[in-house]
Amino acid sequence: MDPTEEHVTTEDGVRLFVQKLGNGPQAVLIPNRVYLFDAFQAFADRHTLVFFDPRNRGRSDHISDRSKLERGIHHDVDDLETIRRHFGFNRVNLIGHSYMGLIVVLYAMKYPDRIGRVVEIGSMAPDFATQYPAHLTNADGTLGAVMARLGELNKERATLDPREFCRRFWSILREIYVADPADADKVGWEPCDLPNEMNFMAQWNEHVLPSIQQLKLTAAELAKAKAPVLVIHGRKDRSASYGGGRDWASRLPDARLVTVDNAAHVPWVEDPDKVFGAVDTFFGGAWPETAEKVEP
């Protein structure tokens, strides 16, 4: 089954690149197509999957107009709604990984009547400023070593071809995304043929991260996300603290947590049966047996 491809234009004129796959009764929107398409396309045999590149990412339009980026993640929330309206879906399910896990919950808060079910995987915490104790983070030796190697690589940046720098950058960074660095090549991410992805850190630092840091989600605001939310988090996640996953599961009104013990930021690489099985059961209308309620 081959996906259909098109661009969907936002209200402010940005074209988002979209791949649509499957024709099942439930629509599932999945941002960050570049990184998630290969892993999650298997769900197309039961669902209609819509993968897309966020603005200024992947194969979506390159943006030089600051006004179309300055709202950071709030642009991404609105773009999810643009995608939903474009395809005429009455209600959608969402899968969000990493900081997109935060965005899919913000969408559920803003558009509660348009949401069926939400999956957060390795999501950033509800409050960026929260400092978690050691047993809820994984700031281990691997993380320190990778950061040191990236620092050394950055010193060579001016002498390297941009694509070569990108390839070397990803060959190092992948190690923190898995619990066992020996599994790093299973991640497979290396978007060095996409200029938007090679230049994303500027957008992250100038617009996306500040918009996340400014969020102050109150209990009343979180209560607006009435949809069931399945939180999946690797216990050894170095990029988004496991404590953040526990916070989402305890603070949202209808959420449960699946803990993937021997996995980090990309838990489906190290335990695909647990992760994909949980998502399949959840979209089928039930909580996975491995999902736990988390007390505040």
CA 295 distance to own-chain centroid: 24
Q: Tell me, what amino acid is at 214?
A: Q
How many CB atoms within 10 Å of residue 126?
Answer: 19
Element housing 161 (H / E): none
Of 66, 112, 84, nearest to 27 by C-alpha is 84
* DSSP category for residue 112: G
296 residues of the chain, pLDDT tens digit each? 789 999 999 999 999 999 999 999 999 999 999 999 999 999 999 999 999 999 999 999 999 999 999 999 999 999 999 999 999 999 999 999 999 999 999 999 999 999 999 999 999 999 999 999 999 999 999 999 999 999 999 999 999 999 999 999 999 999 999 999 899 999 989 999 999 999 999 999 999 999 999 999 999 999 999 999 999 999 999 999 999 999 999 999 999 999 999 999 999 999 999 999 999 999 999 999 999 999 88
In the chain, DSSP assigns E strands to: 4-9, 15-21, 26-31, 47-52, 92-97, 115-121, 229-234, 255-260
CB 267 within 8 A of CB 121: yes
pLDDT of residue 1: 73
Q: What gap in Å lies between CA 224 and CA 135, rounded to an integer? A: 30
Domains of the chain: 4-133+194-283 (3.40.50.1820)
Q: What gap in Å lies between CA 29 and CA 104, rounded to an integer? A: 9
Six-digit token pair at 257? 């947590």
Secondary structure class of 97 (helix, strand, coil)? strand
pLDDT of residue 23: 93
pLDDT of residue 296: 82
* pTM of the shown model: 0.96
Six-digit token pair at 277? 């099985």
